[in-house]
Amino acid sequence: MSSSPERNPGTPLDLAWVTSARVNRSAVIRRTATLPGRRTVKKTWQAAWFLKAISCMDLTTLAGDDTPGRVQRLCAKARQPLRPDMVEKLGIGSLHLTVGAVCVYPNMVSEAVSALKGTHIPVASVATGFPAGLTPLKQRLAEVEQAVADGAQEIDIVVARHQVLTGNWQALYDEIRQFRAACGDAHMKTILATGDLATLKQVYQASLVAMMAGSDFIKTSTGKESVNATLEFGLVMARAIRAYLEQTGHIVGFKPAGGISKAKQALVWLALMKEELGDAWLQPQLFRFGASSLLTDLERQLYHYMTGRYAAKHHMPMG
């Protein structure tokens, strides 16, 4: 898909659909267990998939010790994710390869926007009391508005988990609708914090409500939970996206985040997207990895493809 799909406008909350949802946990586990061994690619095909993974990455820094210098270096890496000598040897200069976006805290948005000026790379910002989502609503809305005013083109909001855990779907829907309004033209990714939810059924239900409320993407995790992106969560959320598309005709993207640090993991996630949602979800307009260390491993794997040996990690610096 060469251009972004029409944004998901949302729908009225359909409580009957949400409360009647069911998930067969055993079937989910069986389905995801087959993916790593069954969907394998080798050699040139594998290298091409690694490049695809890079293009679908939200290169992220969400650390307590973030500095303007770190953000500037991250943005430089986003502009040129592979070393120039590797780009030349792989013969991919014409691709003008970049990552999908750079994701930072709200106070670093203006720094990232400045560092990425002149590129097509959007700046994404977490907001709404990330990672817990427990600050007052007025404050969470103001955080979204400030990030957008500073130039963020994508906002990663986080839901209040207690609304999911108690089944207060109306409150969850109403809050996300307000966040969507505060985002304006910025695309909204809704983080479900799946590792904090009690069941796969709740993951599915929260996915439906988030999409009904107008989310452009649904995202697994903040990366701060004890359990983050798993294939089980991913499958359930992908099936919710498919059901929502079939029911409403509206397209929603997907972003797994947290714990995805190896190139081979990325291949499995891409295979899941291809099988469950189709080739359109192999583009950054509809699929993103939330990651930081993943890029280093992808670069090392591509170096191995070129030379037959692995480079030391310090030869593939993040900036």
Question: How would you write the pLDDT of the chain (319 residues) with one tens digit per residue?
Answer: 446 789 999 999 999 999 999 999 999 999 999 998 766 788 999 999 999 999 999 999 999 999 999 999 999 999 999 999 999 999 999 999 999 999 999 999 999 999 999 999 999 999 999 999 999 999 999 999 999 999 999 999 999 999 999 999 999 999 999 999 999 999 999 999 999 999 999 999 999 999 999 999 999 999 999 999 999 999 999 999 999 999 999 999 999 999 999 999 999 999 999 999 999 999 999 999 999 899 999 999 999 999 999 887 777 776 4
Q: Which of 52, 77, 189, 219 is catalytic?
A: 219
* Residues forming beta bridges with residue 175, ordered by sequence position: none
The neighbour count for residue 154, using CB atoms within 10 Å, is: 24
Residues 6 or more apart whose CB falls under 8 angstroms from that of 270 comprise 49, 52, 53, 56, 282, 287
Calpha distance 27→214 (Å, rounded): 29
Question: Quick one: pLDDT at residue 1?
Answer: 41
CA distances (Å), origin 123, targets 99, 117, 184: 11, 10, 15
**What's the half-sphere exposure (Cβ side, CA atoms, 13 Å) at 121?**
32
Question: Quick one: pLDDT at residue 318?
Answer: 64
Q: Which of 156, 196, 216, 297 is catalytic?
A: 156
Instruction: Output the CA angle 131-181-154, nearest 5 degrees.
Output: 55
Question: Quick one: pLDDT at residue 183?
Answer: 98
Spell out the domains of the chain, with CATH numbers in brackets.
15-315 (3.20.20.70)
156 as an active site residue: the answer is: yes
Question: Quick one: pLDDT at residue 311?
Answer: 83
77 as an active site residue: the answer is: no
Query: Taking the complete model, does pTM exceed 0.75, yes or no?
Result: yes
Question: Quick one: pLDDT at residue 4?
Answer: 78
* Residues forming beta bridges with residue 255, ordered by sequence position: 219
